Amino acid sequence: MDVYWLEQTEADVPAENDWLGARELACLDGLRFAKRRADWRLGRWTAKSALAVWLGVPTHTQVLAKIEIRPAPSGAPQVFVADKPADLTVSLSHRASRAVCAVAASSVELGCDLEMIESRSDAFVSDYFTTEEQKLVARAPAMDRSRLLALLWSAKESALKALQSGLRLDTRTVIVTPDVASFDLNGWRALKVHHTDGRVFHGWWQHTDNILRTLVADPPPDAPIPLEIRTYSPDRAFRCA
């Protein structure tokens, strides 16, 4: 099953806001703090850029302004194009001036997440991880501990997004089983997340430098496929409807 992936940084986001729709501009105006505004713009730009590629339209401001990401009653992102629901599923995450958007068919339950690889306390481990996961952390070499904790936490976040619950659900209701040995050709490694109700999400994880990425889905996904942003040509006619 194909899942597509785009990652962007703050440097990729235009200075102007003409790629935002009217509802989005109103939402942005309601955000008081500069960091929150920057994170929100980065997430929206990344999602709209990914969706433009998926929909086969150029990343031109007039087109992007017609693509909107609105919260569902659960809080999960929903995509609308020209005020009509789009037949697809997305998941978004941002961290440390980076954002990712994962895109798949509408029938897919999907979640993605970005995390920093950083030191975390023993209290964090005991509060948020299951007994099985705590044993996995205890067995890990000291040099791998921070990366493993980032992986476990990120995979939990991805699974909770796929469940459309987010952190409203106890993080110990999802149990992460990473594959730390095998590599995919694109550098992704496999993982599974078991929900206490018996459901299983399959997924992937990857890290570069101090950033770790995870993605899970049901049905089980192949390794994420990178999206390539199309360059807009003013000579090319386009329509977003």
CB 109 within 8 A of CB 89: yes
Give the per-residue pLDDT at 240: 37
Q: With 0.75 as the threshold, say if the pTM is over it.
A: yes
The amino acid at 23:
R
Give the per-residue pLDDT at 236: 41
Give the per-residue pLDDT at 166: 74
Report phi then psi at 66, rounded to 5.
-90, -5
Give the per-residue pLDDT at 181: 64
Report, as ranges of residue numbers, the positions in the chain whose pLDDT lies below 50.
234-241
Count the helices and strands in the chain (H runs, E runs): 6, 12
Report the alpha-carbon distance of residue 220 to residue 64 in Å, rounded.
Answer: 30
Domains of the chain: 4-111 (3.90.470.20), 113-216 (3.90.470.20)
Give the per-residue pLDDT at 96: 92
Give the per-residue pLDDT at 237: 37
Q: In what order do the strands lie in the sheet with 88-95?
A: 88-95, 98-105, 4-9, 225-226
Give the per-residue pLDDT at 238: 37
Q: List pLDDT tens digits, range 30-51.
A: 999 999 999 999 999 999 999 9
Residue with tokens 């958007």: 101
